[in-house]
Amino acid sequence: MNTEIERKYLVKKPVWRSHKQLLESQFPDIGVKYSQGYIPTSNGTTVRLRIVGKQGYLTIKSTAVGYSRAEFEYLIPVGDAQEMLNNLCLKPLIEKFRYKIKIDNLTWEVDEFLGENAGLIIAEVELENEHQKINLPSWIDREVKDKKYFNSYLVKHPYSKWEEK
């Protein structure tokens, strides 16, 4: 079992797009397409299926306490992942491009959402402990703690349907 300690931030879109263009000019394959879905649960546990490139993943996460939660992740055949995405997961699926960027020995994951969540850009950083100091990149806007920014929430309440953004 791993413990995920993660913080989420909204991204300044114009600053991020300039930074992304620079990154893509140096690393053309930096953005990776993700397709993911969620199997409904009734106890606060998150069960996620994901396809990244040609690999499938099954991930189970506990309810968050502060910034932390238990996380179990397993490789599964991509065919099984696709079958579960098609037949077991809530719709719409989450589609996004993810950019992984190393800054100060931390890996930032910036997600640019597609489809019904297009327009939303969120950056996440995983930490070693909840009190770890972070130097925020220039493209970070503000921290978000609201569950509405969780991918599992976006399946049920897509960004395109939000009244207040």
Residues assigned a catalytic role: 38
Separation CA 153–CA 151 (nearest Å) = 5
- Asked if 71 and 4 touch (Cβ cutoff 8 Å), the reply is yes
Residue in 159, 161, 129, 133 with CA at minimum distance from that of residue 146: 159
What value, to the nearest 5°, has the Cα angle with vertex 142 and ends 151 and 72? 35
Angular region, 56: left φ>0, alpha ψ -120 to 50, beta rest: beta
Host H or E run for residue 5: strand 2-11
- Strands 55-61, 68-76: pairing kind: antiparallel
Separation CA 142–CA 60 (nearest Å) = 27
